[in-house]
Amino acid sequence: MHPPPSPKPPSPGPPQQPAGDKPLPNVLLVLSDDQDQLYGSAEPRFMPAVNKWLGGGDGGGGTQLANFLVTTAVCCPARTSILTGKHAHCHNVTTNYYPSGGFVKFLETGVEQTWLPTRLQEAGYQNILVGKFLNGYYTSEAPAGYVPKGFNVFDALTTNAYNLTNSCFSKNGGRSTCYPADYQTDLIRDKAKIYISNAVRAKQPFFAYVTPTAPHRSSTNLVTWYPPTPAPRHHDLYADENVTLPLGPNWDVRNPAIPRKGNANNGPAFVANMNALHLARLRSLKAVDEMVDSLVLHLQDLGVLDNTIVIYMSDNGYHMGAFSLLDGKNLPIEEDIRVPFFIRGPGIPAGQVLPHQSTNVDVAPTLLALAGLPIPPDMDGLPMPLAERLIRPVYDALMVPPQQPQQPQQQPAAAAADGIWQLREASILEGWNGDGSDENTRYSAHFKTLRLCADALLLSDSAFGSAAARQVPVPAGGPPLACYKYTVWCQGNRELYDLAADPFELNNRINDASAGVIDRLDAVLSALVHCRGVACRNPYSLLHPGGGVRKFSQTLAPQYDAFYSGLIKLRIKTCSKFYIPANELTWTQQGAGSRSRVRGG
């Protein structure tokens, strides 16, 4: 049984005016599907328009976040996190398939009642979706006339979502219409331009969520999958340029900690197949790049570009042959969790590349902060560190639990640097067999990962170098930065990587780190496993509720050794595709929270 349908989308009320009586900014968010960051698909060579209008390099019109992550690297959980500002364990859409994920699971959770589109609509926005919504969205699976709460225009892909040459759309829950004569990305472009024009004519701010399925693999039946079909004009693109997949040091190197049902045969035939897939993905992205160019020029023609936030990103990354894996996603490896992220808009500096860690959970609170609208306390995300004058007051308030004073007392010897507001040090990555992988314990991709980017050296041979992680520059000013990754698998495997020294994750250092470092990494990860709201933004508020510790380097003080060694270690009892709190055992469930208030400080 389905929940009752959402009522007919209401007309937005008069636009609210944020602080300073400035007009509310428009938002254009373009979301690609399965696009990699680390194989170079978003580089200027392949996406010149994105880099020209939104990029952070020389001549770029916006800011690039080079260290941007998705917290659950599979479509439905990631897309739900973007619009809710919540981790998958908070919105509980954990996979692409019902009963643990997909569209019907999304309906059952009711998260649309209070997500970003609802809050923007209440402020006077006209909200538009054109393209892919969620896996499993078909009009036959939805209540009659269903439109997600908060959207005024909902023109969503239904059947044939991954057939780029014969896609079908349903507008506002109506009958599906297929377009065999139109290339999907071009059709989405044209639809979006019409809806944006209508919003501008109505003199309402708009939120346009534009979501092509490129460069996802194509299919006509959801059984047989093949490289994405490019637009006809791009069939021979790059034919004479010797475009091949970059084979990094982790190519054809098996990682025994990663569960897998089978290995890629990385011989000549497999290399040829991956090169062909990479080339097809780049060709399909050319139409996406052209779409971004066309949409930005359209905003310029309408006279609203200067008051429009434009974002380009992907729902998750993608691996192709890394660690002898067949192509796919859903893992905590850098290829899967790292995605392109570009943004431009009023008050956002141009030509800026930021190394600080941010995630897809941060998108919703960032947009609310940039619009001058309140951020709900139950959102897990933080505003991104785009410009201090825009973000810092909101960021500082969100980092402090309500019971703490606005300016937490710091330990004199470990005072936070002025730039601490920029650092989302600790991010949780989590997965529950989200791409349909085998739930058998041996092969299950159920894991919890802490990705930490901090001003701390955790191994005896660690050093601050020229990069904090793969393709992540070190900060130009302020404290140095090094990234680490600590993973606990449901099979019991544990991993630790120094991403500054080992960006391709080849050397598992779990047996090289001191017990004290492992104690602290595990404690911070455990604080995030069941976090909500402020605890997700600042896990140290659970470990050190007195406010004396706000970053990882401060936890390394010797007076905390006994406290951290006394906390139980994270353990996943049974491999599962569901988030079940009792199945993921942490110190936060064992009464250690009360102990931390005494001993954590």
Of 27-41, 213-227, 388-402, minimum mean pLDDT range = 388-402
- Measured between alpha carbons, how far is 141 from 151 in angstroms, rounded to an integer? 19
Q: Is the pLDDT of residue 484 over 80?
A: yes
Looking at residue 409, what is its pLDDT? 34
Of 214-228, 250-264, 298-312, 323-337, minimum mean pLDDT range = 250-264
CATH of domain 21-397: 3.40.720.10
Q: Is the pLDDT of residue 95 over 60?
A: yes
Closest CA to 460 of 506, 521, 509: 509
Q: Is the pLDDT of residue 65 over 60?
A: yes
DSSP sequence for 176-198: -EEETTS-HHHHHHHHHHHHHHH
Of 75, 90, 483, 531, which one is the catalytic site residue? 75
Percentage with pLDDT > 70 across the chain: 90
Looking at residue 401, what is its pLDDT? 64
Q: Is the pLDDT of residue 156 over 60?
A: yes
- Per-residue pLDDT band for 419 (boundaries 50, 70, 90) equals low
- Measured between alpha carbons, how far is 405 from 191 in angstroms, rounded to an integer? 49
Looking at residue 263, what is its pLDDT? 72
- Measured between alpha carbons, how far is 93 from 98 in angstroms, rounded to an integer? 9
Indicate the residue type of 355. P
Looking at residue 18, what is its pLDDT? 52
For the chain, count helices (H), then strands (E): 16, 20
Supply φ then ψ for residue 307, to 5 degrees: -115, 30
Looking at residue 236, what is its pLDDT? 98
pLDDT mean across residues, the chain: 91
**In this structure, are residues 570 and 526 in contact, taking their beta carbons and an 8 Å threshold?**
yes
Q: Is 75 a catalytic residue?
A: yes
Of 163-167, 368-372, 432-436, 571-575, minimum mean pLDDT range = 432-436
Q: What are the tokens at 127?
A: 């909200």
**In this structure, are residues 292 and 49 in contact, taking their beta carbons and an 8 Å threshold?**
yes
Q: Which long-range contacts (CB under 8 A, 24 or more apart) does 512-517 make?
A: 512/459, 512/460, 513/458, 513/459, 515/565, 516/556, 516/561, 516/564, 516/565, 517/458, 517/459, 517/556
- Per-residue pLDDT band for 421 (boundaries 50, 70, 90) equals low
- Measured between alpha carbons, how far is 373 from 114 in angstroms, rounded to an integer? 14
Looking at residue 420, what is its pLDDT? 61
Q: Is the pLDDT of residue 557 over 50?
A: yes
Q: Is the pLDDT of residue 459 over 90?
A: yes
Q: What are the tokens at 297?
A: 């020029």
pTM score above 0.75 = yes
- Per-residue pLDDT band for 393 (boundaries 50, 70, 90) equals confident
Q: Is the pLDDT of residue 239 over 60?
A: yes
- Per-residue pLDDT band for 22 (boundaries 50, 70, 90) equals confident
Closest CA to 169 of 192, 147, 138: 138
Eight-class DSSP state of 276: H
Looking at residue 1, what is its pLDDT? 38
Q: Is the pLDDT of residue 591 over 80?
A: no
Looking at residue 443, what is its pLDDT? 84
Cβ contacts of residue 236 below 8 Å, gap of 6+?
none
Of 16-20, 57-61, 136-140, minimum mean pLDDT range = 16-20
**In this structure, are residues 123 and 117 in contact, taking their beta carbons and an 8 Å threshold?**
no
- Per-residue pLDDT band for 412 (boundaries 50, 70, 90) equals very low
Percentage with pLDDT > 90 across the chain: 82
Q: Is the pLDDT of residue 448 over 60?
A: yes
Tell me the per-residue pLDDT of 265-287, one tens digit each, with 9 for 90 and over.
778 999 999 999 999 999 999 99
Mean of pLDDT values over 227-253: 97
Q: What are the tokens at 67?
A: 């260290």
**CA 470 to each of CA 116, 396, 589: distance values in angstroms, whole numbers, following the listed order:** 31, 29, 35
Tell me the domain boundaries of the chain: 21-397, 419-599
Q: Is the pLDDT of residue 528 over 80?
A: yes
Mean of pLDDT values over 490-501: 97
Supply φ then ψ for residue 76, to 5 degrees: -60, -50
Q: Who wins on pLDDT, 151 or 261?
A: 151
